[in-house]
Every structure is written in C-alpha cells, then in structure tokens.
Structure 1
Amino acid sequence: MSPPRPFARVTALIDVPLIRRLTWHARRIAASLDRRFFLSLMAGILVCVAVAALAITIFDGPVTLEKFGDSFNWSIATVFGQGDATFVKSPGGFIVNWLLILFGVAMLGTITGALVALVIDFLLKEGQGMGASGYRDHIVVCGWNSTARDLIAELKGDDYHRKLVIVHDAERNPGGAGTYYVRGDPSDVAELERAGIRDAAAAVVCPTDDSNEADMRDILVVMAIKSIAPRVRTVAEVNNPRHAAHMREAHADEVLVTSVLASHLLARSALYPGLTDLVTDIVSGGAGSELYRIRIPDEFAGLTVDEASARLRREHRATLLAVGHEGQTETNPPADFCLSIGDDALVVAESLGRLAPLRIETGEADQADDRAAAPMVPARAP
C-alpha cells in the first residue's frame, strides 16, 4: 500500500540529492563536535540568565519565587531581543538589562558566524570532492583516463539521463561541469559510499594508466564495489588481456580489453576496407544510428528471429544484431530461433522511439527510469 500523499511528498523531499547531501554533511559535522562542550555552554548560558534574573529580583523586589520566575522569563526574552524595557525600575535593573542586550547581540553574532562557517565548509568540501553525491540510479566512474573522458562525453549526450559521479584522487574534478566529483581512492569502501555506490545503476572502472599495477588496483576496486553493492552492474576496462580472467573472478559483470578490441578491429579493417568507419559510426552515433539494448515486446514472443527482425525493421526502423536469452547473448542467432517473453535484443536504430530499453538490474531496479537509454557494453565472454 502506498503511503498517504502528505507523507509521500515528505519522502520525496527527503530523497532530493541536495537534501541527502546536506544530511550527510550534517552527520559529518555532528560526529566531529564535542557534545560536552556544547552542554557546558548551554549550562553556562542558563547560569548567566539565572544570575541576571536573581539580580533583577533583588534590585527591583519583591524577593519572591514568583518575582524570580517573571525575571527569569524576562531575561530569556531580553537575550533574544524580545524583552520589555519597562519591566525593570531600578538603576541596577537597567544595568542588568543592558548587559543582557549586549549578551544577546554577542550570542546572535556567534550563531550567525557559526552558520556562515557551516555554509563555507559545505561549499569548500563540495568543491574539493569531499562531499557525498546523494544520487540514486546514477553511474559511478572509478578512475580516470582517456577512455573515461570519452565515456563522460558520451554519457552527457541527449540519449542518457543518468547522473554521473567520478571517484578519483585528483585536486580538481576531471569530468568538468555536469558531473559530481568524489576525491579519493576508489578501492576504499568509504569513498564508494560517498559516491552512493549502493544506490547506483552501474559502475565503470577505468585504469589510471597502462601498467599492470593499474589493473591490480582495479581488481581491488571491483572487489570493493561487489562487497557492499553486489547487485550494481560493474563494467571494467583492462590493460593486459591476462588480467581479464582475474577481473571476472572478482565478479565484474563486463570486462573490456581495449587493446584486444582495437587490434581485432584493425586486423579486420585491413581485410575489409571501411569496417573501422562503420563500427565507429555505429558506436559513436556519428551516422545517426546508435546501439541499444531493448526489452523484446511481449507480442514478439513465439516469433522466429527472421520474423522479429522484419517487424523491428518495419515498425521501428531498427536492425536486430543479437538476442539475449536466459542470461546468454546469442549473436547472429539461427533462423529457427524463437523469442520468448523476457528476452532482450541488441539493435541498431536512430532512436528508441516506442521501444523500451533494457532495465539495469540493481537493488533499486524498480526506481530505474524506463525512458533512459542504457549504453550497450560488450557482452561477457562465455
């Protein structure tokens, strides 16, 4: 049963990234405060007010418990700027009144300064990558290299509507505007928590350089991600092909060896001219068509691949390349292969149109945006 509308509105407000970010900073500041100091400060303020009330009671009289209560209430109101100036009658009472007014002004200035300091601290921490993203259903990019730079540029395109968070140890945000930056070691669970990895839709792990040590660090990153967010889809780039198996053993969902991919493409292009341009146009959308992974419409169940391909082409101007069935990707499936409910497909199309993109399976899957076109990544090797 859905919550009542007022509660739903409150829940939606709390779930706003900025509110979640402010809450995280508030918890961080609260954890660093000395509570005993503030308790002592409050006790000191109450003692000062009580002494002032006692002085007023003695100076103005009569010295009764009722008069002390009225004086105590007046002293508190005076500190907050709401005291009645006609309450005191004696010269000593006027002096106490002035002292309370000065005390109230000093306290107001202190509180204002503290609030300004908190705002400055928030802005500085956010600018230095020391905050928390507060996002849900976003993409976390761990590490930074030329691949990550092109990836960010691609994900900022019109077809993608997910927030981007970069986790990298650098002084400035390498992704620029439109991305949230978390400065730190992506293999550190605490830094991943600040990036909101538990609520992420996917994570992309990129090596910081082309060394074997970078691959080893990325294996640790994948292990850290899977240790706290096992259902987050994780895609990893690997420098050395020999490390791909280790990356899969760390439970990376997709592993991309860019050097192997580039060498195969160069070899095929040497034999078949124009292949490089074709693949580049399809992957980058340069010719107006993009790769999409979609959910097969239920009415396609029972159709053969040829029949489904013809309908996709006729009704959606989409070309079928592969079919996902029971967790396996069938590239160029046989003609007698029949589609089932729950299958997905890899297609080339100018846009999704009325086709539904494949939902990224995460712990927050039911919150995923069905209208967001998920980028297609290479299928996991069998």
Structure 2
Amino acid sequence: MQPTKAPDTSLIIFSQRFWHFLQREKLDRLILAIGIILGFSSIGLSLLEPDLSVLDALWWNIVTLTTVGYGDITPVTFWGRVIAIVNMFFSIVILATVSATIASILVDRKIKEDRGMTSFQVKNHIILCEWNYRAKLILNGLRFDGKTKTTPIVLIANIDSKPVDDKYLFFIQGQVSDETLNRANLAEAKTVIILGDDSLDNLARDAKVILSTLTVESINRSAYTIVELVDPGYISTCKRANADEIIVSSELSSMLIYQATINHGITNVVSDIFSSQDGNQIYKIPLPKEQIGLTFLEVFIYMKQHHQSTVIAVQKDEDGEVISNPPTHYILSEYDYLIVIAPN
C-alpha cells in the first residue's frame, strides 16, 4: 500500500494567512459581492442573449467590471441590455470600493512603518538602539561608507516616528526588550549598537545599557555587540554581559581634551581620521596574499609605497585580538587583518 502524501504545510499556512488578511481588511465581503454579481449576470445574459454561452457572458462581465471594454461581445436583446446597464453601475461602485480599500491598506501600512508598529525580516543587518545626536552621526557615517551604504539598519527607540527619510532604515517604537528585538529579527542580525539614553542620569543610563546588552546576548550571542558607557567602572560588568566592544564616551572626550591641552592641534588629526567625509580615514583590510609570512616592517613599507597607507595595527582574525604598533619583526599570518590610515 502506497503511503499517502502529506499536504504541503507551507501552502496551508499561506492560505490561512491570506484568508485572515482578507477578513481583517474586509475584502472577503467585497470578493463575495463580486462573485454574486458575476454569477447572476453571467447566467442571466447566457439565458437572454442568443448564441451566448455562460463562459462568454462571464468574459463580458469581467471585461465590463474592470472597465476595459474590448467590445468583442455586445448584448442585443432588451433585457440583456438592462442587465448590462445594471452591471455597469455596479462596476463603477465596485471599482471605486476596491481602489479605496487598496489605498487604505497601503496608507495604513506606511503609517504603521513610520510609527514603528511593524516587524521586519531583514538579515545580516545592524540594530541601532536609542536615537540621539550620536545615533544620527553613526547613521550618516554608515551611509557615507560604501560597504554599509545600503545595509539594512533597524532602529529601536522610544520616539514618536521614524526620525529620518532613509529607505534602508527601519523603525521600531519602544524600549529595548525581547519583544522589540524579536520584531527587529535580532536572531539574524550581524551587529548591535547600544547607545546610552540621554534622558537618564549617568547611573541609570549605564544600567539600562548593561540590561540591554544582557537581553541582546541572551537572544543572539553571535551578533557583534558594541555598547556605549559613561562610567568606566562598568566596563567589567559589560564584559561579563558578553559585550564585544565597549566605548566609554566620557573617557574618550576627556582624553582628547587632555591631548589637545599638551599637544595643540592633535585633535584635528583625530577628527580627520574618524570623519566620514573626505580625507584620511581608518580602514580594516585583509592582509594581501603576497605579504603573508613577511615582517610588520616589510608590510608597513609595502603598504606605504604601493597604497599610500599607514599601518597602525594588526588584528588576528576578523574579530580577534588587536595589536597596536606591532614590533618590526612581528610575522604576519594568513588570517591577519591590517588596520590602516588611508585616503580611500
């Protein structure tokens, strides 16, 4: 006895979702009304019009309903024309109703997207938590860089609407939580950036960042998590929460001011390197194959002569340990990455 073939569950699920969509948007009643009109008028025309089959009458009704009007079939009897007149008036009403319903669905979807009320199924994307002037600078920098110019970015923030017009920026309204992170498809995200909430004091702000980090890591440990702190005393706590990279904003600004005090003009160099505009910037690139096995000094000279770039650090593997200013005799291996300052 041949085993019975199991039904296609994906088709069943799609059919159920489609029917639920029709019911939610009240399209099921409209479809039923169209079906009744087409059925009765097709049968009536086929009975009243000579040499007109039910299929030909159905064809004429569909052409009339859609206001195409090919003119290949024309009612010739009195009662056939009466049915045609009634059908034409119903066609105008139905076409207007269908157009209004579709427009309403599209407008409603657009409003929900702008207000952060929907979910997104993007992949290999960046999740940006919180919106402030730093988030705007981060977004501008990512869009200026060719590698992330079209990368999907999902913003989770407790603001009223999508803050900028960016076709690759998707907005979810609310605090960082299991629910909002699942709506942002954290399970398939590549990078998560957690910024501090400027509306809170420093203690509460860092506590919220740590809690958000724990929530992110509990859902997707493979996502690269970058967090922003105010107090360097919470670095160890963030490390225990498995944050991949920790940036202490107050410490960075303080160090820049200190360096500017004793070395005037040094911040101009730092600004040029980290700016997303024209000028020299920091890049991470794979070690050229022909440089594998050479010393750091040899690679340094090669990169300067051939690419007008200065090697300032080496990273072991793509996400491994970073060695700043390695010794001249350091041997570079196949999976090393170079961190360079270059004009492009």
Aligned pairs for 1:30-109 (under 5 A) are 33-34=22-23, 38-39=27-28, 41-52=30-41, 78-80=64-66, 86-87=74-75, 89=77, 91-109=78-96
Aligned pairs for 1:308-319 (under 5 A) are 308-319=299-310
Q: Who is 1:5 aligned against?
A: none
1:239 to 227, 230, 235: 230
Residue 316 of structure 2 corresponds to residue 325 of structure 1: yes
Aligned to 1:340, the other structure's residue is in SS state coil
Q: Is the 8 A contact 2:228 2:246 kept in 1?
A: yes
Q: TM-score, normalised by structure 2?
A: 0.75
Q: Who is 1:157 aligned against?
A: 144
| Alignment gaps of 5+ in structure 2 | 1-15
CA distance in 1, matches of 2:55, 2:166: 58
Aligned to 1:34, the other structure's residue is in SS state helix
2:333 to 320, 324, 340: 340
Residue 199 of structure 2 corresponds to residue 206 of structure 1: no
Q: Is the 8 A contact 1:171 1:183 kept in 2?
A: no
Residue 288 of structure 2 corresponds to residue 301 of structure 1: no
CA distance in 1, matches of 2:30, 2:86: 18
CA shift in 2, pair 1:212/1:181, >3 Å: farther
Aligned to 1:140, the other structure's residue is in SS state strand
**Number of residue pairs the alignment of both structures matches:** 321
CA distance in 1, matches of 2:230, 2:19: 43
Residue 244 of structure 2 corresponds to residue 250 of structure 1: no
| Alignment gaps of 5+ in structure 1 | 1-26, 352-382
Q: Who is 2:12 aligned against?
A: none
Give 1:123 deviation, angstroms. Answer: 3.6
1:113 to 72, 80, 100: 100
Aligned pairs for 1:144-223 (under 5 A) are 144-157=131-144, 161-163=148-150, 165=153, 166-175=155-164, 180-185=169-174, 187-192=176-181, 195=184, 197=186, 200-209=189-198, 210-223=201-214
Partner amino acid, structure 2, of 1:204: I
CA distance in 1, matches of 2:18, 2:160: 22
Give 1:333 deviation, angstroms. Answer: 1.9
Aligned to 2:227, the other structure's residue is in SS state strand
CA distance in 1, matches of 2:239, 2:56: 74
CA distance in 2, matches of 1:273, 1:86: 89
Partner amino acid, structure 1, of 2:102: L
CA shift in 2, pair 1:184/1:249, >3 Å: farther
Q: Is the 8 A contact 1:137 1:162 kept in 2?
A: no
CA shift in 2, pair 1:191/1:33, >3 Å: farther
CA shift in 2, pair 1:176/1:120, >3 Å: closer
CA shift in 2, pair 1:319/1:38, >3 Å: closer
Q: Who is 2:7 aligned against?
A: none
Q: Is the 8 A contact 1:294 1:345 kept in 2?
A: yes
Q: Is the 8 A contact 2:116 2:162 kept in 1?
A: yes
Q: TM-score, normalised by structure 1?
A: 0.68
Aligned to 2:196, the other structure's residue is in SS state coil
CA shift in 2, pair 1:317/1:42, >3 Å: closer
Q: Is the 8 A contact 2:115 2:172 kept in 1?
A: yes
Partner amino acid, structure 2, of 1:266: I
Q: Who is 2:11 aligned against?
A: none
Q: Is the 8 A contact 1:186 1:192 kept in 2?
A: no
Q: Is the 8 A contact 1:197 1:229 kept in 2?
A: yes
CA distance in 2, matches of 1:53, 1:269: 86
Residue 271 of structure 2 corresponds to residue 280 of structure 1: yes
Residue 248 of structure 2 corresponds to residue 261 of structure 1: no
Q: Who is 1:140 aligned against?
A: 127
Give 1:182 deviation, angstroms. Answer: 0.3
Partner amino acid, structure 1, of 2:174: D
Aligned to 1:339, the other structure's residue is in SS state coil
Q: Is the 8 A contact 2:177 2:215 kept in 1?
A: yes
Q: Deviations over 1:302-341 (max 9, x none)?
A: 1111222122222222222111125211122223221100
CA shift in 2, pair 1:216/1:57, >3 Å: same
Partner amino acid, structure 1, of 2:98: I
CA shift in 2, pair 1:212/1:52, >3 Å: same
Q: CA RMSD in A?
A: 3.8
Give 1:32 deviation, angstroms. Answer: 5.1
